[in-house]
Amino acid sequence: IMDEHYLILEELIALGRTSIRLSYNTNMSNLRFRDKLVQEYWNKFDKVRVGVSIDDVGPRGEYFRHGSNWQKIVDNILAVKKACPHVVFTINCTISLFNVYYIPEIHQTAVSLGLIDPGNFYPNVLLDPVEYRVQELPKAFREKAKKKNSDYLAKLQFLLK
């Protein structure tokens, strides 16, 4: 969210360079900057990919990303999808000891709400701070989370075939 972003998009549009690929990583908390609405720009480009940083959903997601509003994020993604059906959304989820057990629910929620297609979920493993790594969990809980996630992934792979 800055003037330079829109200046670049406006220049690309003026030059007729709208067949390039735009790629973003955002929390989708805001679609407007001053008087500019991002959908009005993205609709002029052929290829737009938006990676949304979501580490959990609902109240847990709001807790992890202090100041975020889950419903606003959902509404913003759906508004862009309606206005710009060609935009591809992915979820970039940072896996930590706080959410490792909830990965299936995060994925299922995102898919069931129409935020992403089932294959557009990309986990990132948290490395720092070290004390938040999954490896810091007690072994029994790690194994329980591993089984839950493995079972879900196997089911998901079967459904995607």
Provide the pLDDT for residue 161.
62
Element holding 125 (H helix, E strand): strand 121-125
Distance CA 64, CA 102 (A): 13
Provide the pLDDT for residue 3.
87
Burial of 28 by CB count in 10 Å (0-12 exposed, 13-18 middle, 19+ buried)? buried
Distance CA 82, CA 65 (A): 25
Cβ burial 90-105 (10 Å sphere, 16+ → b, else e): bbbbbbbbbbbbbbeb
Provide the pLDDT for residue 157.
79
* Residue among 101, 98, 127, 110 at smallest CA distance from 54: 110
Provide the pLDDT for residue 110.
97
**Residue 89 bridge partners (DSSP):** 50
Return per-residue pLDDT of the chain as tens, 161 residues: 788 999 999 999 999 999 999 999 999 999 998 888 999 999 999 999 999 999 999 999 999 888 899 999 999 999 999 999 999 999 999 999 999 999 999 999 999 999 999 999 999 999 999 999 999 999 999 999 999 999 999 988 776 66
Distance CA 160, CA 1 (A): 36
* Residue among 109, 100, 96 at smallest CA distance from 144: 100
Sequential DSSP letters for 92-122: EEEE-TTTGGGHHHHHHHHHHTTSS-TT-EE
Provide the pLDDT for residue 159.
67
Distance CA 131, CA 41 (A): 41
Distance CA 142, CA 105 (A): 17
**Residue 28 bridge partners (DSSP):** none
Peptide bond between residue 59 and the one before it cis (omega within 30 degrees of 0): no
